[in-house]
Each structure stands twice: as structure tokens, then as C-alpha cells.
Structure 1
Amino acid sequence: MNWKVVLALMVTFALMMSSSYTMLIPFLPLYMQNELKATSDEIAMWSGFTFSITFAVSAFMSPIWGKLSDKMGKKPMIIRSSILLSITYFLGGIVTSPFELFLVRAFQGIAAGLWPACLVMISAYAPKNKLGLSMGLMQSANICGGILGPLFGGILATSFGMRNSFFIGSTALFTICVLSIFILKEPPADKDIKKADNKSVSTMDCLKNINILILLLCVGLTNFAIMEIQPIMSLYVQSMSENAENAVLLSGLILSSGGLAGAIASPLWGKIGQKKGFAKTITVAFIFAGFMLTMQGIPDNLIIFGAIQFICGLGFSGIFPSANSILVLITPRNSRGIGFGLMTSAQMLGGALGPIIGGLIVTLSSYSYVYVFSGLLMLCMGIYILFFAPESFKKAANQVKVTDLKTSQD
């Protein structure tokens, strides 16, 4: 199967998956209030549980699904995840209480794994010299879905009701399943991979590998910084805005500007990484994003704050494509499912911890310190990779040949 066709399919899947998810998630509290008739106290209690349960369950399940994808194949995992997610979205549209919605969100965590499965699929098909571009386009599609999802969600909820938004999301995921069954083909295993099949690479092998651990720290810390900021952005914008009524709209526009910058820049980061080395791009991206994030804690002017958010998005967009490309380079093809599964777990854990730490910082100080704290963490990560990361990581991140995990644990 032509790799360009696979890339087009995976990019389409990423866009549909991301937009379906973000079309619903921001409106869950309103869904509880308007459709499930929950009281204010119930919404306050169940919102946190309903959001966090999916992260927690998915963090546990992702490495399991990743290992199964290495054994059973990439295509079956895409079909498995898309059909189960389609069912969870449908069930979300027929629940009658916050507790039922909580159970559905827990099931969604079990069903998750479509994103890493798509990354594993395209990593198996893409030529080595197109790896950076492929990962950049995947990240760009994921970001675009995150921008378009809330927009479509708001329009659909207003026009057809919030329950129908769940059914539309379910249809989108079912479409992914159907396209996978009839169009997508399992990548053929080459001779080197067949020989390597006898070598069992376990989750512990990955966790003992210093290069994998650095990548897990990279993606976990990045998602931590993102999720630490998102819940308080509207309040921070409100504190800088003369008109409090426009705070939600302004924060949405400012947040989207960072996403727009990321959607534009992700493929460019991929191309640069392909030419200059992914260790260099991920280092520059961390330092640049960290510096701009720290700067966001300084201004009390919305225009300056929004401009920095756009520039910050340019930096953030270089981290995930670089990390995904490095993972492909340092793992054998028959073990990438485990690797991407662990990276998804790290992202989920970072996403779960971010809002908690951000809330504590706001309680002890102010909104601006959340940005400063996140920015300094990102800067420290970039400095660590630049000066202190082992040479094995930098060499592996710039190689063109797959390295066996068990021979690179120095």
C-alpha cells in the first residue's frame, strides 16, 4: 500500500478523532446541567471525576494496547479502538445521570488507543526520509481537530442539542472503523523484523531504557504544562480584561491562536528535524516554548499576551513531532506499539497532574506564577537535553537506522 495513501488516511483519522473528542469535552459540565438536570453541587463534584477518570484509565491501558498492537497487528488495533470509542460516544448520548456519564468516560479510557495506533501505522509505512514530515502532519491534524472541535460542538449543540453531538461523534468514529476495514492494509513485515520477532521486548525493557525515559519525561512534562494552564486561562484573561463578560470568548480566541500556530508549524518542525536532527529540534522547541511561556506571566495587556500565546504555540508544536520521530528511530518496528503506548500514558499522567498543581499555585500565589512555573520547567527540560542528556540519546535521535532497545540501555 502506498505510504502517501496511508498518510492521508491517518491524517484524516487524526482530524476526525481529535475534533470528535474536543467537540464534546469542553461542554460536559453544560451537558450535565442542561440534559442530565444535575444540581450545581453535583456538577462541581462529578465534573472533576468525569474528566480525570478517562486520563487515569487510559494511562493504565495504553501500554497494554500498544503491546497487543505489536503482537496482533496495527490495523486490528485501529479497528478495535475506533469501534469501541464509537460505542462510548453513542452511550454518552443516552445517559441519564452524571454517574452513568462517569461510567461511560471510564469505558472511554479502556477504549482509547486510536492516536498511538495511528502513529504506529504511519511509522511502519513512511520512508525514513519522510518520517519528520509525516509526524508533523499528524500533529498538525491533531491540533486542527482541537481547534475545529469546540467550534463545531458549539454550533451542533445549539442547532441540534447536545445529545446529538455525541451521536455525530459516534458516527465519525464508526466511519474511521469502516474505512480501516475496507481500505487500510496491515504493513508487511520485512526480513529484519521477522528475525527480530523472536526477541521479546517487554514494557520493562522500555522503562529500563534511558532514551525512552527521556522521551516519556518530554511528553509528560509538555502535557503537564499545557493542562496546567488551560483551566486558569479564562480567569487570567478576565483579570486583564476590562469587560469580564468577554473573558470566555477572548480566552477561547487566544487559546485557539496558539493551536493555529501549532497547526502551521508542526510540519515545518518535522522537515527541519529530518534535516538537522530531531535532538536539535526538540531542544530548541523546549527552550523557545519555555522562554515564551515564562514571558506570558509578565504582561497585563491582552494584545501582548495573545501575541505571545501565538508565538508560544510555534514552540510547543515542535515537541511532539520530534519526540514521536525519535521514538520511531530508537525502537525496532515490532516494539513501537509499546513505545507509543507508554508515551500516551506519560501524556495522560501529565494531563491529570497539570490542573492539580496549577490550582495549588494559584491558591498560594497568582495566575501569572502558573505560567512562570510551567515555562521554567520547559526551559529546564531543554537545558537538560542540550547539556546533560546522554550521548546515546542525541546519537539515536539523529540516526537513520533502527536500534534494538536491548543494545541501547546505557
Structure 2
Amino acid sequence: MNWKVCLAILTCNVVFMSSSYTMLIPFLPMYLTRELGVDASSVNIWSGVVFSSTFAVSAIMAPIWGRLADKKGKRLMAIRSSLLLAISYFLGGIVTSPLQLTFMRMFQGFAAGLWPMELAIMTTYAPPKKLGICLGVMQGALTAGGVIGPLFGGLLAEIFGMRMSFFLAAGALFLNFLILVFFIKEPPDTDAPAETTKAAAPAEEGSLWHHPLIRNMLIFAVFVQMVILIIQPVLTTYVTELAGHLDNLIFISGLVFSLGGFASAVSSPLWGRFGQHHGFHTSLTYALFATSLVFFLQAVPDDLYYFAATQFAIGLFFSGIYPSINAILAENTTAHMKGRVFGLLFSAQQIGSMAGPLLGGVIATFVGIKFVFVLAGVIVLIMSIFARRQQKIAMRQYHP
């Protein structure tokens, strides 16, 4: 199968997948109160339970699905995930109680794994010299879906009600299922001569966690995702404080949120190209360091327009982190191990997703919202220092 055709198809799939998810997730508290009868005093508790239940299950299941992908086929696991996710969204549209919604989200965690499987398929088809560009494009598609989803979901909810949004998401995932069945072929389980894999030998079965570079990238993924989820829960409150008594506050808040997404969707392919030409360790180090500086700047302003500019800058720099991590993992695993390594990556992200909101909520409540951005900046700055050390080790191995 031609890698360009595969990239085009999977990019469309990623947009459908991401927009379907973000079309619903921001509005779950509203769904609990308006459709499922949860009172205002307990909606925050139910929201926490509903959100975290998916992360807990998917963190356990992701490595299992990844191992099965390497044994039974990456395409088969992508088909499995898209079909089960479609079913989960349909169930979300017919639930009648918060407990049923929690069980639906747990089933969604069981079904999860479409994103890592599509990454695994793409990294197997992509020529070594095009790996960074391919991963950058897919990361940009993921972010673009994240921007489109809330805007589209809010419009649908106003016109047709939130249940229709679940059914539409189910339809989008079922379309993904059909595309995977009829248009994507199982990638070859062979490895082309790896011109880019000189820094370390590709990891083999049973050695992924013991491979220092892969272990470090998985740990990085935990902290990167944790930083994302530290910030997201407090953004609404922070923008509201900065906006004061401006008219159209909801619209303005949504616009500020979307600035980072727009910047990320545009810059992700550029970061992939940069990493391809200058090395993915280099792009990772630069992206982390620049992101940490902008996080520190976000803790400074008392002006909404200043904060909006920093939100755009965050999108520009943060978008270079995951394509670099994904490319480093792809370069250092053989084709028959890519399903497992991206399954572990997804599991690491879910662990970060569980830890982030808890830590961010504690800091915002007891110290202050501005210190949430300071904490995020410190974490990412420390990661950039470790990434720089990893880069030096890789360069010594490349030029012994």
C-alpha cells in the first residue's frame, strides 16, 4: 500500500476520531445535569467519576491490545477499537442514569486504542526519511479534530440536544470502521534498512521497558499528559478572571482555548519536518524548553489579550513534543513491536491523564491558579534538561 494513500486515509480517520471525542467530553457535566438528572451539588463528583473511569480501564488494557496487535495484526486491532468505540458512543446516547454513563465510559476505556494503532500502522508504512513528516501531520490532525469537536458539539447540543451528538459520534466512528475494513491493508511485518536508527539498536520483544531510551520516552509521555491535564481544568476559571465583565464571555473563552489548537494543528507538521532534518532528540529538547518558558509567561499576565497570545504560543511549541516522542519510539522498535510500544505509550498517557487533574485541582485550590502554570513550567523545564542529556548520549552513540 502506498504510504501517501495510507497517510491521507489515516489523517481523515484521526480527525473523525478526535472531533467525535472532543465534541462530547467538554459537555459531559452539562449532560449529567440536563439529561440524567444529577443535581448541582453532586455533579462535580459524578463528573470526576465519569472522566476517570475511562482512563483507569484504558491504562490497563492498552498494553494488552498492543501486544495482541503485534501478534494478530495492527489493522485488526484498529478495526476492533473503531467498532467498539462506535458502540460505546451509541450507548452514551441512550443511557438514563449517571451510573449507566459511568459504565459506558468504562466500556469506552476497554474499547480505546484506535490512536496508537493508527500510529503503529503509519510508522510501519512510512519511509524512514518521511517518518517525522507523517507523524507531524497525524498529530496536527489530532489537534485539528480537538478544535473542531467542541465548536461542532456545542452547536449540535443547542439545536438537537446532546443525545444527538452521541449518535453522530457513533456514526463517525462506524465510518472509521468501514474505512479501515475496506481501504487499509495490514502493514508488512518486516523492517526496511533503518538509516535513522543509529543511536540505539531497535528494541526486541521482552525488552521494551528495559530499553533505556524507550523507558525514558514513556516516562516523558506520563509527564507531558499530566501537564496537559493539570492546565485544562483551570483554564475556564482563569480566562473568566482575566476577562472580567466582558460581553460574550463564553464565546471569548472558547476563542482563547481554540488559539492553542489552531497553532498546534499548523505547526505539528513543521515540527515533524524539523525533527526529520535535525534529529528528533533535538526537536524534542527545543519544543520542551520553549514550552516551559511560555508556561512561565502564562503565570504573569492580568490581561486577557496577553494570555491569548501566550495560549497561541503554547500551541506552536507544545505541538513539537508528541511527534518527536512518537518518532523516537518508532525509530527504536522493529515493525513487529510497534503495536506494543504504542500501546504502552497510550497507557502512559492515560496514567498522566489520571494524575494531572488531581494535582492541578489541589494546586489551584490551596496555592492559586497562577501557580498551576508555574508548576507546569517547572515540570517541562526539568524534562527539557533530561531530554538534552538524552540527546548527548544519542550523539555519542551515533559518533562513537
- TM-score bracket, normalised by the shorter chain, equals over 0.9
Provide the identity percentage: 45
Q: Which residue type is aligned with residue 201 of structure 1?
A: E
What is the DSSP-based 3-state SS (H/G/I as helix, E as strand, rest coil) of the residue aligned with 2:100?
A: helix
Give the match for residue 317 of structure 2: 315
- Answer whether contact 1:234 1:247 (CA < 8 A) is retained: no
Equivalent residue for 1:111? 111
Residue 59 in 1 paired to residue 59 in 2?
Answer: yes
The CA deviation at 1:392 is: 4.9
Whole-Å separation in 1 of the counterparts to 2:167 and 2:269: 32
Determine the C-alpha separation between the residues in 2 that align with 1:185 and 1:105: 30
The one-letter code sitting in structure 2 at the alignment partner of 1:252 is G
Task: Confirm or deny: 8 A CA contact 1:211 1:393 kept in the other structure.
Answer: no
Change in CA separation of 1:124 and 1:191 when aligned onto 2, cut-off 3 Å: closer
- Deviation of 1:187 (Å): 1.4
Deviations 1:332-366 (A, max 9, x none): 11111111111111111111111111111112211
Residue 218 of structure 1 pairs with residue 196 of structure 2: no
Distance (Å, rounded) in 2 between the aligned partners of 1:61 and 1:244: 45
In the other structure, the counterpart of 2:386 is 384
Change in CA separation of 1:16 and 1:364 when aligned onto 2, cut-off 3 Å: same
Give the aligned length: 390
Answering whether residue 307 of structure 2 is matched by residue 295 of structure 1, we say: no
Q: Is the 8 A contact 1:147 1:259 kept in 2?
A: yes
1:372 to 374, 380, 385: 374
AA in 2 matched with 1:112: A
Q: Secondary structure at the match of 1:40?
A: coil
Q: Which letter does structure 2 place at the counterpart of 1:154?
A: G
Cα displacement (A) at 1:188: 2.3
* Aligned-CA RMSD value: 1.8
Distance 1:244 1:96, change over 3 A: farther
Deviates more, 1:35-44 or 1:22-31: 35-44
Change (3 A) 1:23 1:329: same
Q: Kindly provide the amino acid, as one letter, of the partner of residue 210 in structure 1.
A: P
Aligned 8 A contact 2:7 2:134 in 1: yes
Q: 1:120 to 1:394 in 2, by over 3 A?
A: farther
Conserved 8 A contact 1:279-1:394:
no
Corresponding residue number in structure 1 for 2:268: 266
Give the TM-score normalised by the residue count of structure 1: 0.92
Offset of residue 246 of structure 1: 4.7
Q: 8 Å contact 1:139–1:320 — kept in the other structure?
A: yes
Deviation at 1:156, TM superposition (A): 1.1
In the alignment, which of 221, 225, 228 is matched to residue 230 of structure 2?
228
Aligned equivalent of 1:17: 17
Distance 2:246 2:30 in 1: 20
Q: How does 1:16-165 map to 2 (within 5 A)?
A: 16-165=16-165
Greater CA drift, 117-126 or 243-252: 243-252
Matched-pair contact (CA < 8 Å) for 2:282–2:391: no
5+ residue gaps in structure 2? 194-202
d(CA) in 1 for partners of 2:394 and 2:97? 49
The residue identity in structure 1 corresponding to 2:105 is: R
Contact 1:211 1:392 in 2 (8 A): no
The residue type equivalent to 2:262 in the other structure is L
1:187 counterpart = 2:190: no
Per-residue deviation, 1:86: 0.4
Measure, in 2, the Cα distance between the counterparts of 1:217 and 1:383.
Answer: 14
Paired residues of 1:23 and 1:149 also in contact (CA < 8 A): yes
Q: TM-score with structure 2 length normalisation? A: 0.94
Cα distance in 2 between the residues matched to 1:395 and 1:281: 17
Q: Report what 1:353 is aligned to.
A: 355
Displacement of 1:269: 0.3
Question: CA separation in 2, counterparts of 1:37 and 1:275?
Answer: 55
CA distance in 2, matches of 1:281, 1:141: 19
Q: Is contact 2:204-2:333 (8 Å) kept? A: no
Assess if the C-alpha contact under 8 Å between 2:190 and 2:335 holds in 1.
Answer: no
* Structure 1 residue 232: Cα displacement: 0.6
Query: Residue 187 of structure 2 aligns to which amino acid in structure 1?
Result: P
